[in-house]
Amino acid sequence: MALFAALAVGVAMPGPAQAQFSKSYKFLESVKKKEGQEVTDALAEPGTTIINTRDVSTGETALHIVTARRDTTWISFLLGKGADPNIRDAKGQTPLVVAANLGFVEGMELLITGGARVDEPNSTGETPLISAVHRRDIAMMRVLLKAGASPDRADSSGRSARDYAKLERNDNLIEEINTNAKKTDNKARTYGPSF
């Protein structure tokens, strides 16, 4: 009987996990509604890690949400507060992949400056540069290439951005890659110690 009473009290009182879920939900809802003061208050709590909280159904972070709505002010704000630009959502997309799929060059520049890895692929292995080639978006390609994106990183089908540019038979895409890709050392990789 005492055990039953203890269990009943435990069920009736919200636990830390429920309270954290509630704060996370409220935080993401405030981001969606552009409620700046509520977001600022949530981030001001001592020891909070809510900046990188993820939606339980989509896996999206606040940075995914504001990137999807093309909001440069909020992207800058969240990055300034320590948001991680390399967290993937449930579809395997980072905010940079979201920006690339939208053709959102200004957002990409902010995310790259904020530490986004330029060769981070989505769940099918498609990098932001491959997305830019598919879109035939020279400005986006230039931003990514100058930030160090590899035109030779292959997706799940085995094709790279360079391969897709050649398949398109678009001289502008190929020229952009040849002009702005970082030069790599073509020496074969050596594994193990070098003497």
Domain contains 176: yes
Nearest to 96 by CA among 147, 154, 39, 167: 147
Last residue of a domain, one of 117, 144, 161: 117
102, 127: one domain: no
pTM over 0.85: no
Give the pLDDT band (50/70/90) at residue 184: low
Angle in degrees, 0-180, between the axes of helices 138-146 and 128-135, rounded to the nearest 10: 160
For residues 66-96, b (16+ Cβ closer than 10 Å) or e, as one string?
Answer: bbbeebeebbebbbeeebbbebbbeeebbbb
What pLDDT score does 195 carry?
53
Per the structure, the complete domain to which residue 110 belongs is given by 19-117
CATH code, domain carrying 66: 1.25.40.20
Res. 19: pLDDT tops 80: no
Q: Express each pLDDT in 25-78 by its tens digit.
A: 999 999 999 999 999 999 998 888 899 999 999 999 999 999 999 999 999 999
> What percentage of the chain carries pLDDT values higher than 70?
83
83, 27: one domain: yes
Nearest to 126 by CA among 106, 105, 153: 153
Q: Express each pLDDT in 76-126 by its tens digit.
A: 999 999 999 999 999 999 999 999 999 999 999 999 999 999 999 999 999
Domain contains 102: yes
